Amino acid sequence: MSTGAVGRAYPRLEGPEKVTGTARYAVEYPVDGVTYGWAVPSAVVRGRITRIDSTEAMASPGVLAVVHHGNAPRLAAGGPPELWLLQEPAVHYRGQFVAVVVAISLEAAREGARLVRIDYDTGPHSTVLTTDHPGRYRPEHVNPSYPTDTAEGDFDAGYAAAPVRVDATYRTPAYHNNPMEPHATTAQWRDGRLLVHDSTQGASPVRATLAELFALPPEAIRVIAAHVGGGFGSKGYAKASVVLAALAARHVDRPVRLALTRQQLFGPVGYRTPTIQRVRLAADTDGRLTAICHDAISQTSTIREFAEQTAVYTRSMYAAPHRRTTHRLVRLDVPTPFWMRAPGECPGAYALESAMDELATAIGVDPVELRVRNDARVDPDQERQFTSRNLVACLREGARRFDWAGRDPTPRARRDGRWLIGTGVAGSSYPARARASSATATARPDGGFLVRINATDIGTGARTALWQVAADALGVPPERVEIHIGDSDLPAAALAGGSTGTASWSWAVIRACQALGGKLRAGVPPDREVSASADTTDEVGEQPVLPRYAYGAQFAEVRVDADTGEVRLNRMLGVFAAGRVVNPTTARSQLVGGMTMGLSMALHEEGLLDERYGDWVNHDLATYHITGCADVESIEAYWLDERDDELNPAGVKGLGEIGIVGAAAAVANAVHHATGVRIRDLPIRLDKLIGASELA
């Protein structure tokens, strides 16, 4: 039946609308009588608001209201604590939104916000993560529901007995999600019903959270997210913008548009927690691992626990008889950290894949070969065979394409004038999961088909991929298929997160299309519209628990200026095994994007927190550096043909996150190979390199 749409490189369906500016984002819809909200952040870290003086703000031209805890509509308690906004005078972190100014124009709202006077009583605060912090504790589980600690064998004994050992502590700073489109919402109340256009990774979950906070039945709320300008995890959940806009719109009884500013994205919408990670590896002299331990420390806020799964990557990546992983959290007076592209796996892989490089150096074995020797056919964590594991094939294919053979392992061996040149490698893996979703397929009398599902396209190309999947499932050319996504009035579906989108949504789309095919074959009069729906809740729930992962191998070549310590990326290359690839164009952009973000993590990004103010001081794109095109001289992503029948009907593993996993380690390992200097706290900046004796 397949028409071969899956696997073909189609451009994004909405591409023309996006490049001509007609694709509408959350605050771009024309709305009669719309007003503008500007969020006011707390200027203190911890304390209580003692007085809010709105006099000057209200006197400013165009200002309609200053909404704050003293006059805001009430929210139901029991929702996400960080979204219980404008309800109480307490301040839990700097930047917490404490008021919204509503005005007839954006400029008037902004000026009004400047004129709101707020007095606070403040108390002492603590905002810096340290190993021995008194607020350190052991969480009950880690995101999303992994055990906090694991142990097999006897790590201490195994480690002590081994002839080769690595014991290294790696640190990563706070990283901030910076989607092109900020968190933004247009909210409208009509006859007790709430309509929001929101920039989110999942309209269905946003509707559920709004229903909880505003004590409404979900049917009274509609959330539309037709186009979303990126998220990376920060929009995986309802965020402040949608709550503030809905509160403000109810207060002024007019539609309200509210977009967070770029500066306001640095904290209140979630960020990647800083980490402190101690990794200990022990091996025999051939490089076969005998003991692995990964102890991770990260932070959470005082109002909500977010426990990132930093060491989980290490549980399944390489085999060893003696293994242990632990997670500890520190409660700080900070905004709650949250998802950022491969939360857990990304920083965890940086530490483990760096330690593997240190082990390779210590033993004198090639780092590709070291990983091949420690490959696992059976998941060391679940003790079941992986449904497919092509890590070794990725390493081999990557080494071939990268021209790795013949590499001199000696650090500082290659030089070109002032430039020291080095190469590095890292492994990569990410779980392949699917979540329950539902979809409806309709056959029209004119021979066309409509497929409806509340999937979200956050820029990934999901809309196009599902259109291809639907065409093949219906057995018709894709030109005859229309696809509707991004609206909570459509059949409910999982959010775009955890690299689960294509797997989850295509599952429901295929089942709906198959059901429709069954009805059509049963003989329906050609002049009638016919629909069929599917809900994969049971099927997904009944799927056997098996270790399902995508894999990759990341290679990087850097050059480092021996005099200044400047690091430049010559080239980067990744080979991935991620099941079936639906659309090579959009798949490549996900992988290259992930790798670029990993490069950015290795060399550029860093949230610099000033304990005096309890906040990041570099909260804009001028001072928070993100890798730009000029920082990437060559970056290539490839994939293997991989078939895995234990996944989902489309056979996909998902590739939104695998591209970032291991990327930072590959770059860091290349810097070590170039210079002989091992920087264990990211980002690798020139001041850290020129301070190192090896470079002198």
Q: Which residues of the chain form contacts with ligand MOS (CB under 6 A)?
A: 201, 231-233, 236, 339-341, 343, 497-498
Contacts (Cβ under 8 Å, ≥6 apart) of 22: none
User: What's the token pair of residue 67?
Assistant: 């909404």
The span from the CA of 391 to the CA of 429, in Å, is 8
User: What's the token pair of residue 146?
Assistant: 């992994």
Residue 423 or 460 with smaller CB distance to ligand MOS: 460
CB of 228 to ligand MOS, least distance (A): 11
User: What's the token pair of residue 276?
Assistant: 């402190």
Residue 63 or 346 with smaller CB distance to ligand MOS: 346
- At position 257, the amino acid (one-letter code) is R
The span from the CA of 663 to the CA of 683, in Å, is 13
Contact 211, 76 (CB under 8 A): no
What are the beta bridge partners of residue 443? 449, 530
Residue 498 or 547 with smaller CB distance to ligand MOS: 498
CB of 71 to ligand MOS, least distance (A): 35
User: What's the token pair of residue 505?
Assistant: 């949504």
- C-alpha gyration radius of the chain: 26
What is the Cβ-side half-sphere exposure of residue 267, based on CA atoms within 13 angstroms? 26
- Which run of H or E residues covers position 631? none
Tokens 């001081």 -> residue: 617
CB of 346 to ligand MOS, least distance (A): 9
CB of 450 to ligand MOS, least distance (A): 28
Residue 257 or 435 with smaller CB distance to ligand MOS: 435
CB of 352 to ligand MOS, least distance (A): 19
Residue 47 or 173 with smaller CB distance to ligand MOS: 173
Residue 290 or 298 with smaller CB distance to ligand MOS: 298
CB of 52 to ligand MOS, least distance (A): 35
Q: Which residue's C-beta sits nearest to ligand MOS?
A: 233
What is the Cβ-side half-sphere exposure of residue 520, based on CA atoms within 13 angstroms? 21
CB of 340 to ligand MOS, least distance (A): 6
Residue 237 or 551 with smaller CB distance to ligand MOS: 237
Contact 600, 621 (CB under 8 A): no
Length of the chain: 696
Given the residues 479, 646, 657, 694, the one annotated as active site: 657
Backbone φ and ψ of 248, nearest 5°: -65, -40
CB of 321 to ligand MOS, least distance (A): 32
Residue 339 or 467 with smaller CB distance to ligand MOS: 339
Residue 52 or 495 with smaller CB distance to ligand MOS: 495
Residue 91 or 240 with smaller CB distance to ligand MOS: 240
User: What's the token pair of residue 330?
Assistant: 């520190």
Which strands sit side by side in the sheet containing 438-443, from one edge to the other? 481-484, 449-452, 438-443, 530-535
Contacts (Cβ under 8 Å, ≥6 apart) of 49: 68, 69, 89, 91, 98, 118, 119, 120
Contact 450, 441 (CB under 8 A): yes
Contacts (Cβ under 8 Å, ≥6 apart) of 515: 441, 532, 533, 534
Whether omega before 525 lies within 30 degrees of 0, making that bond cis, reads no
Contact 519, 419 (CB under 8 A): no
Contact 456, 462 (CB under 8 A): yes
Contact 195, 220 (CB under 8 A): no
CB of 595 to ligand MOS, least distance (A): 16
What is the Cβ-side half-sphere exposure of residue 583, based on CA atoms within 13 angstroms? 24
3-state helix, strand, coil in the chain (%, to 5): 30, 25, 45
What is the four-CA torsion angle of 38, 43, 49, 53, rounded to 10 degrees?
A: -50
CB of 260 to ligand MOS, least distance (A): 18
Quickly count: other Cβ atoms within 10 Å of residue 223's Cβ: 28
Ramachandran class of 56: left when φ > 0, alpha when ψ lies in -120 to 50, beta otherwise: alpha
What are the distances in angstroms from CA 277 to CA 62, 327, 344, 453, 680?
52, 9, 11, 41, 10
Contacts (Cβ under 8 Å, ≥6 apart) of 4: 472
Q: How many helices (H) and strands (E) does the chain have?
A: 16, 29
CB of 236 to ligand MOS, least distance (A): 5
Residue 272 or 407 with smaller CB distance to ligand MOS: 272
CB of 459 to ligand MOS, least distance (A): 12
Check if 111 is active-site: no
Residue 116 or 296 with smaller CB distance to ligand MOS: 296
- Dihedral sign, Cα of residue 396, residue 397, residue 398, residue 399: positive
Catalytic residue positions, numbered: 657
